[in-house]
Chain A
Amino acid sequence: MSDTSLTPNVTGNINLKKVKMFDHISQLPDCILSYILTKLSMKDLLKTSILSKRWCNLWALRRDLYFDIFNVFENNEEELLQKRNSKKFIEQFSQDCLKLTSLDYNGHDLANLNFNTPMLNNFHLAVSYSQHLIAFRLFATLPKLEILQLDIYSTVSTSLKITQRLEHLKQLNLILMRPFDFLQKLEFGLSGILTILQASPLLQKLSVMKDARDLEAFSHDEVKVIELRGCVGNWYEIEFAMNVMKYANKLERIVLTPYWRDDIDESLDWNFNPAWFQNGRQRIAEKLQNEEVVGREKLVLI
């Protein structure tokens, strides 16, 4: 980190190689500047590219990015999308971010994003269902990806189709939802979630929110924790739970609950209809605890 070295000589006195200390922050090496870059807001971060030629691409050394197009453009997305600025903006994100370990991306143009982020470890991505194949293709190019939160919005009943392997994935939080203004009831196929398990040999924790169906037999040797939230005791949820308990050999805990996590959407108030949640919970308990269920001791009801 520093060029200065202190070396004792034989007499025990100190020889000091005096090296001039950096007079200015701008003289510091890139890796030190990346500490400061990591703390800047998105606006201030991109502004640093105008400082000088050296700084032009320095911002990409940031270690995390929270890129929410609505947040960045202060809800003026419509207006900005019409200008080429935002296209340019997306292009600016399509470059080498060699130090990036954490990325939060909620935006469009996923297909045009061309990240080179070999260190990326933690990725939170929100996409529409039509883009999920592109998303999984992107994940497969990230050699260090271990923690993934994926929000998939859909307006049709669907199932995930994943072909790429997620070699290093250890934790997956998957949220399947329809747009808030979309009232029609949707079902997400369970087979897609099983595909994720099959594609992720090292997965240790899987958390899924939303219902699922269609089962196929397989086995998985690593996954330890599975949470299924938004679960109210429908037959396919029960069947999913029974199958996971049967086929996931290292499973320690399967959590079933009608409740979503509080940190996902605070606007969901459990108290508005406690009976409904209580009944859902009751149904799960009846179906899974009164039967001869393999691995029943792993079941946790919240």
Chain B
Amino acid sequence: MAEEVSSQMNSLSISETNPSSSATISLVSGDDIVFKVEPTIAKEMETVQSFIDETDGKITTIPLPNISSHDLPYVIEYCEKSIAGKITKEFEAEFVKKLNNEEVKELFLAANYLNIKKLLDFLSQVIADRIANKSVEYVRRYFGIENDFTPEEEAKLREELAWTFTGVDPDDEDEN
């Protein structure tokens, strides 16, 4: 993956980009790395495509300040497979295997930001799988939720929902 990324890297130079000379779209990550992609890939990313549409295709360099150069290749890879119609169970299983919890969350946020429905749906399932049967505390940490119940309130809720707590898995070490 690292080699692939570096081959796609260019120094950031918006002023030098001549939109009419190139059909490719340049996506610029938050840490100023340029990824050149085919227009069909950009189409998968609603946020990017609507920007291209708004400028009548004149501007083909799109800054994505919220997405890091670490996450963007994953997004592009998924979009490429999606266009090729090659999103199989096997591909998704392999794709997920590469990602730790933190990366899954980052990609989910990226998919939301770029508005890629299929990726969002897929990552929702991945997240659901990763919090399945986990304790409330684990899920709070995972989602970054602050518990604002009083101990009494929480105890009452836990009692009411006692049956949902059967068979909870022990918390793993929170991997990052």
**Chain A residue at minimal CB-CB distance from B154:** A50
Is B59 a contact partner of A2 (Cβ separation < 8 A)?
Answer: no
**Residues of the B chain whose Cβ atoms lie less than 8 Å from the Cβ of A36:** 124, 127-128
Q: How far is the CA of A7 from the CA of B144 in the complex (A)?
A: 32
By a CB distance below 8 angstroms, the chain A residues around B146 are 52
Question: Do A21 and B132 touch across chains, with their CB atoms under 8 A apart?
Answer: no
**A181-224 vs B: 1/0 string, CB under 8 Å?**
00000000000000000000000000000000000000000000
Considering the chains assembled together, what is the distance between the CA atoms of A51 and B108 in angstroms?
20
Of A11-19, A134-142, A291-299, the one contacting chain B is: A11-19
* A50-B157 contact, Cβ under 8 Å, with A14-B14, A38-B124: yes
Q: How far is the CB of A6 from chain B (nearest CB, A)?
A: 5
Q: How many A-B Cβ pairs are below 8 Å?
A: 121
Looking at B36-44, B60-68, B78-86, B87-95, the stretch in contact with chain A turns out to be: B60-68
Residues of A within 8 A of B131 (CB): 40, 44
User: Could you give, for residues 23-44 of chain A, a 1 whenever the CB lies within 8 Å of some chain B CB and a 0 otherwise?
Assistant: 1111110001001101111011
Is A169's beta carbon under 8 Å from chain B?
Answer: no
Whether A21 pairs with B66 at a CB distance below 8 angstroms is: yes
A69 CB to nearest chain B CB (Å):
12
Q: What is the CA–CA distance of A25 and B133 in the complex, to the nearest angstrom?
A: 19
**Given A4-B66, A55-B145, is A50 in contact with B136 using a C-beta cutoff of 8 Å?**
yes
* B131 (CB) vs chain A CBs: closest residue: A44
Collect the chain B residues with CB atoms within 8 Å of residue A2's CB: 47, 112-113, 115
Size of the A side of the interface (Cβ < 8 Å), in residues, is 42
With A2-B112, A48-B139, A49-B157 as contacts: A27 and B144 at CB distance below 8 Å: yes
Q: Does B162 contact A (CB under 8 A)?
A: yes
- Distance in angstroms from B110 CB to nearest chain A CB is 9
Contacts of B147 in A (CB 8 A): 51-52
B102-120, CB < 8 A from A: 105, 108-109, 112-113, 115, 120
Q: Knowing A1-B112, A25-B144, A26-B144 touch, does A53 contact B149 (C-beta < 8 A)?
A: yes
Nearest CB of B to A107, in Å: 14
Residue of A23, A43, A54 most packed against chain B (CB within 10 A) = A43
CA distance A263 to B133 in the complex (A): 30
A87 CB, min distance to chain B CBs, angstroms: 10
What's the Cα separation between A41 and B65 when bound, in Å? 35
Which has the most chain B C-beta neighbours within 10 Å: A35, A48, A85, A88?
Answer: A35
Contact between A14 and B145 (Cβ–Cβ < 8 Å)? Answer: no
Contact of A25 with B105 at beta-carbon distance under 8 Å, contacts A2-B115, A35-B121, A85-B162 already known: yes
Q: How far is the CB of A30 from chain B (nearest CB, A)?
A: 13
A113 within 8 A of partner (CB): no
Is B11 an interface position by the 8 A CB rule?
Answer: no
B160 in contact with A85 (CB, 8 Å): yes
Pick from A4, A12, A38, A47: contact of B136, CB under 8 Å: A47
Among B62, B63, B163, find the residue whose CB has the most chain A CB atoms closer than 10 A.
Answer: B163
Task: State the Cβ distance, B78 to closest chain A Cβ, in Å.
Answer: 16
Which 8 A-B pairs give the minimum distances between C-beta atoms? A24-B144, A39-B128, A21-B66, A35-B124, A26-B143, A26-B145, A43-B164, A36-B124
17 A-B interface contacts by CB (under 8 A): A1-B112, A8-B55, A12-B58, A13-B15, A14-B63, A16-B65, A21-B109, A22-B112, A28-B109, A39-B128, A41-B132, A43-B163, A51-B143, A51-B145, A52-B148, A53-B149, A55-B145
Interface residues of B (CB under 8 A from A): 14-15, 47, 51, 54-55, 58-59, 61-63, 65-66, 105, 108-109, 112-113, 115, 120-121, 124-125, 127-129, 131-134, 136, 139-140, 142-149, 154, 157-158, 160-165
Q: Other than A2-B115, A8-B58, A52-B149, give 11 A-B pairs with Cβ distance below 8 A.
A: A4-B65, A14-B59, A21-B65, A23-B144, A26-B144, A27-B144, A35-B120, A35-B121, A40-B131, A44-B134, A52-B147
Chain A: residues with CB nearer than 8 A to chain B? 1-2, 4, 6, 8, 12-14, 16, 18, 21-28, 32, 35-36, 38-41, 43-44, 46-55, 73, 80, 85, 88-89
